Amino acid sequence: MIHTSKPVSVDSDQPDMEQLNPFMIAQAQLDEAAKVLELNPAVHGLLREPLRELHVTLPVRMDDGSTRIFKGFRVQYNDSRGPTKGGIRFHPEETIDTVRALAAWMTWKCAVVDIPLGGGKGGVICDPKQLSKSELERLSRAYIRQVGRLLGPEMDIPAPDVYTTPQIMAWMADEYAMMRGQNEFGVITGKPLALGGSKGREDATARGGMYCIREAARVLGLDTRGATMAIQGFGNAGQFAAKLGEELLGSVVVAVSDSRTGLYNADGLNVRDVIDYKLKNGTLQGYAHAQPITNAELLELEVDILVPSALENVITSENAARIKAKISAELANGPTTPEADQILHRNNVYVIPDFLCNAGGVTVSYFEMIQNSYDRYWSEETVHERLDEKMTAAFHAVHRQAQELQVHNRLAAYCVAVDRVAEAVQLRGWV
Ligand code: GLU
């Protein structure tokens, strides 16, 4: 039997058949943009697939003396605009298709903020919550021993993502230095400050998102001061979004959630207290000064600003019509399905699409690479200023494109990004 890879239909008339495979979704989103851009078919075909991917098997010695075998991936999606760049996720439900999708989105992300990098992503199937610190270290080093041969400041540069931290980046940078016999800080970003990290990297994803919300509020004529905000997901991005939502925008955080529970207080949560509780207990469960709600309820709250900050596919055709927020600022990667995008657009929910909204992380990663290559380090104010400049320019390029083409913001962001990548592919003579 011959299998042909057909573009996925995004306007399926069978809502129960909604496509939830993230890579198929990423391809369908690209197909839509290719149509609008009248993209050269060969360029389109090339951009639908990763250029390279590596599947690795990782034997790791556990604390009890046994050896466990883990599976991992690194996908280098497209490097026409520069070396591939993107984080590494440690997650029990990681799949190659999720990593492919995330690598594609990194390609569009670096292009939309116009930094000279391509897109890549890595992942390991594991549950970091079940691993001791020393097991986590041995797993991180095992990953680099296998994938390190493909990495380098001019080739492919990883960073943190879901459940990976500056400490994990430090172990990985060290393992890479051991393999190469020399320090090469620029091979990985999101490192601790003492090992060549950049000031302002830790909160960069959330901060970049706040700059986008500020600009969206301007074009919508909405005052962010006193605006209500609900945050789904309370990892790095979600926690800093809560803090900076108050500090930079003057918004009132009324709800937050993690994988186990949500918290709601119509008068506003005490953000500092909630973050302290989460850091101390590893969960929001049991926090006393708020009403418990589910993740599903949080998404449908009557708030001004919704900030999905966890994982993929939380806003689908099933719940999109019940989203009441004026702005949905996607700090997560892939939180909204293509069907849901159509519904949100019809209902005038202003979506700041993921690869624009969360591009602050990779933008400061790029700043970190520059600082590593010159061995000169910037002040926090300089990082913030340069990040603001990049995010504001990218936001308005996408907003303008959406107005001009009369399309939803994600499609507009695709048009801006894909056009830039297509130009690089063609200038190189690949097509
Ligand atoms: N993992 C982050 C993202 O999805 C940051 C990537 C990076 O800094 O390379 O954008």
* pLDDT tens-digit readout, 25-82: 999 999 999 999 999 999 999 999 999 999 999 999 999 999 999 999 999 999 999 9
CA of 43 to the centre of ligand 1 (A): 25
What residues act catalytically? 121
CA of 3 to the centre of ligand 1 (A): 34
Question: What is the model's pLDDT at position 12?
Answer: 45
84, 100, 365, 383: residue to mutate for ligand 1 pocket, most atoms within 8 A of CB:
365
**C-beta 189 within 6 A of ligand 1:** yes
**C-beta 187 within 6 A of ligand 1:** no
Question: What is the model's pLDDT at position 16?
Answer: 59
**Which ligand 1 atom minimizes the distance to the CA of 358?**
10
**Which ligand 1 atom minimizes the distance to the CA of 364?**
8
d(CA 259, CA 335): 14
- Position 6 pLDDT exceeds 70: no
**C-beta 159 within 6 A of ligand 1:** yes
Question: What is the model's pLDDT at position 211?
Answer: 98
- Tell me the residue type at 186: G
**C-beta 333 within 6 A of ligand 1:** yes
Average pLDDT of span 401-429: 98
CA of 360 to the centre of ligand 1 (A): 8
Q: Whose CA is nearest to atom 8 of ligand 1?
A: 362
CA of 232 to the centre of ligand 1 (A): 19
d(CA 3, CA 253): 49
Query: What structural domains does the chain harbor?
Result: 50-183 (3.40.50.10860), 204-357 (3.40.50.720)
Please answer whether residues 47 and 424 qualify as being in contact, where contact means their C-beta atoms are separated by less than 8 angstroms. no
- Position 392 pLDDT exceeds 70: yes
Question: What is the model's pLDDT at position 365?
Answer: 98
- Position 311 pLDDT exceeds 80: yes
Q: CB-based contacts of 317: which residues, under 8 Å, 6+ apart?
A: 15, 18, 337, 339, 340, 343
pLDDT tens-digit map of 250-293: 999 999 999 999 999 999 999 999 999 999 999 999 999 999 99
Please answer whether residues 229 and 265 qualify as being in contact, where contact means their C-beta atoms are separated by less than 8 angstroms. no
Average predicted confidence (pLDDT) for the chain: 96
Question: What is the model's pLDDT at position 17?
Answer: 81
Give the predicted TM-score (pTM) of the model: 0.95
CA of 334 to the centre of ligand 1 (A): 13
CA of 269 to the centre of ligand 1 (A): 28
77, 161, 163, 212: residue to mutate for ligand 1 pocket, most atoms within 8 A of CB:
161
**Which ligand 1 atom minimizes the distance to the CA of 109?**
10
Q: CB-based contacts of 89: which residues, under 8 Å, 6+ apart?
A: 98, 99, 102, 121, 122, 123, 124, 161, 162, 163, 164
For residue 34, how far is the Cα from the chain centroid? 22
- Position 410 pLDDT exceeds 70: yes
**C-beta 86 within 6 A of ligand 1:** yes
d(CA 73, CA 63): 24
**C-beta 365 within 6 A of ligand 1:** yes
Q: Percent of the chain at pLDDT above 90?
A: 96
Please answer whether residues 307 and 209 qualify as being in contact, where contact means their C-beta atoms are separated by less than 8 angstroms. yes
Q: What is the DSSP string of 146-187?
A: HHGGG-BTTTEE--B-TT--HHHHHHHHHHHHHHHTS--GGG
pLDDT tens-digit map of 135-191: 999 999 999 999 999 999 999 999 999 999 999 999 999 999 999 999 999 999 999
